[in-house]
Structure 1
Amino acid sequence: MNQNRKIAVLGGGGRTGKYLITKLIDKGYFVKILLRDPEKFEIKSSLIQIIQGDAIEGSIIRSLIHGCDAVISTIGQRKGEQLIAEQATRNVLDAMLQFGIERYILVAGINIDTPFDNKGPETVIATNWMKTNFPLIQEDRQKAYKLLVKSDIKWTLVRVPFIYFNNGDGNVDINLNDCLGNKIYADNIAWFLVKQLTDDTYINKAPFIYNS
């Protein structure tokens, strides 16, 4: 059991985040969740503590992360709202430094570019589509990645293709250079994120994960 380990979660009220919370609880982790609307959150457990607020507020992030051993984020950009990726990442990194927390695991799309990529034609098309249709969101996410690279923490940026919001078969493929599948099940994402809490393989790396 992992009840002596406390994990801070951003985006836990989202569609992917709910799979993550369920997986963490199943593994016995104590979870502190940042929620903007706690009354809408349906998962109940004695292992859950809720912090109400927004990830763009530094004081809220400090309250969330204080006393935790690691941070996981599945936070996404909400339509019509302030850009969140860079600011949330900056807030998280500042709080982690303040409290001496080393491990940060987060989710992004396959459109994020790194110097180590060798993206194939399909991944390049998807990346360019995002850059063309949502340039500000793309730039915001890219800035968040640059903050990670410049930091001294142990981060893992998990890049995912189109998400199916149901349970997969557990067959997850991983590639550091390209996304060779066009889908991933939310349950598989949750499994991989939780696995990173005890696996150092992808520290300071940005793996693509997908179902083949």
Structure 2
Amino acid sequence: MKLLILGATGRVGSEIALLAAKDGHQVNVLVRTPEKLPPELTALQVYSGDATVKEDIEQAIEGCEAVISALGTDGGTVLTDTVPLVIKAMQDRGSKRLLTIGTAGILNSRTEPDLLRYQSSESKRKLTRAAREHHEAYLAIKESSLDWTIVCPTYLPDGPITGSYRTEKDYLPLEGKQISTGDTAHFAYIQLASEEFLHSRVGIAY
């Protein structure tokens, strides 16, 4: 399969790119600073550019059957600027599968059913700017015609793949406190071959 991975210089995105390349997928990455790619990521087609620029997205996505985005909020509007460009480029080309890394803040609240976690007393974070950015991206993806899945980790320390974790559609697993970057990448990657969580957010935690 030919894939476009966004955020491949990040902690989760680089792990996803490594898994995909090891499995023999044809992997395109669009990055602002190619020198930040991990040295072991050699079997890639690297596009130097900006994910918020329409022409850069269109060049990198050409021929791709799926897109995996591990872009963060970057303290600005990178996520909400990029998501509409990706959706449009995919729809124009008939590409359907979109996987993104979100945040547990945009999962449903258990304590206040009409709210998302970041809007409710479940969230201990005082700053909500990043969650609001993820929320806006989620709404745009939800309204698209794509086959999407948003993987929503909670506290995300660096760590290896264990393959042992819990997931739940639209909610954070009960008492979930953290999940490693490796396991988040592993779960997101294997969704390429799964329809279990189509059109869903998925909480992931130990």
- TM-score, length of structure 2 as denominator length: 0.88
Using the alignment, how far apart are the partners of 2:97 and 2:58 within structure 1? 15
Using the alignment, how far apart are the partners of 2:56 and 2:40 within structure 1? 22
Structure 1 contact 110–127 (Cα < 8 Å) conserved: no
Match of residue 140 from structure 2: 147
Aligned-pair CA distance for 1:47:
2.7
Unaligned runs of 5+ in 1: none
Pairing 1:188–2:179 present: no
Using the alignment, how far apart are the partners of 1:76 and 1:126 within structure 2? 22
Using the alignment, how far apart are the partners of 2:35 and 2:79 within structure 1? 24
Of 103, 110, 113 in structure 2, the residue corresponding to residue 119 of structure 1 is 110
Match of residue 104 from structure 1: 98
Using the alignment, how far apart are the partners of 1:36 and 1:126 within structure 2? 36
Structure 2 contact 111–122 (Cα < 8 Å) conserved: no
Match of residue 31 from structure 1: 27
Match of residue 81 from structure 2: 87
Aligned-pair CA distance for 1:157:
0.7
Match of residue 39 from structure 2: 43
Structure 2 contact 109–122 (Cα < 8 Å) conserved: no
Unaligned runs of 5+ in 2: none
Give the residue type in structure 2 aligned to 1:36.
Answer: R
Structure 2 contact 17–41 (Cα < 8 Å) conserved: no
Structure 1 contact 84–140 (Cα < 8 Å) conserved: no
Aligned-pair CA distance for 1:118:
4.3
Give the residue type in structure 2 aligned to 1:66.
Answer: E
Match of residue 210 from structure 1: 205
Aligned-pair CA distance for 1:172:
1.7
Q: How many residues align?
A: 198
Aligned-pair CA distance for 1:140:
2.2
Aligned-pair CA distance for 1:16:
1.2
Q: What percentage of aligned pairs have identical amino acids?
A: 24
- Is the partner of 1:92 in helix, strand or coil? helix
Structure 2 contact 29–44 (Cα < 8 Å) conserved: yes
Which stretch has the larger CA shift, 102-111 or 181-190?
Answer: 181-190
Give the residue type in structure 1 aligned to 2:103.
Answer: G
| CA deviation vs aligned residue, 1:179-202 (integer Å, no higher than 9, x gap) | 131111111111111111110111
| CA deviation vs aligned residue, 1:18-37 (integer Å, no higher than 9, x gap) | 11111112222111011110
Of 157, 161, 176 in structure 1, the residue corresponding to residue 154 of structure 2 is 161
Distance 1:126 1:176, change over 3 A: same
Of 47, 52, 68 in structure 1, the residue corresponding to residue 64 of structure 2 is 68
Aligned-pair CA distance for 1:42:
2.7
Aligned-pair CA distance for 1:44:
4.3
Using the alignment, how far apart are the partners of 2:72 and 2:151 within structure 1? 13
Structure 1 contact 111–128 (Cα < 8 Å) conserved: no
Deviant stretches of 4+, over 2 Å: 42-47, 117-121, 123-129, 137-140
Give the residue type in structure 2 aligned to 1:27.
Answer: D
Distance 1:99 1:186, change over 3 A: same
Match of residue 9 from structure 2: 13
Aligned-pair CA distance for 1:134:
3.3
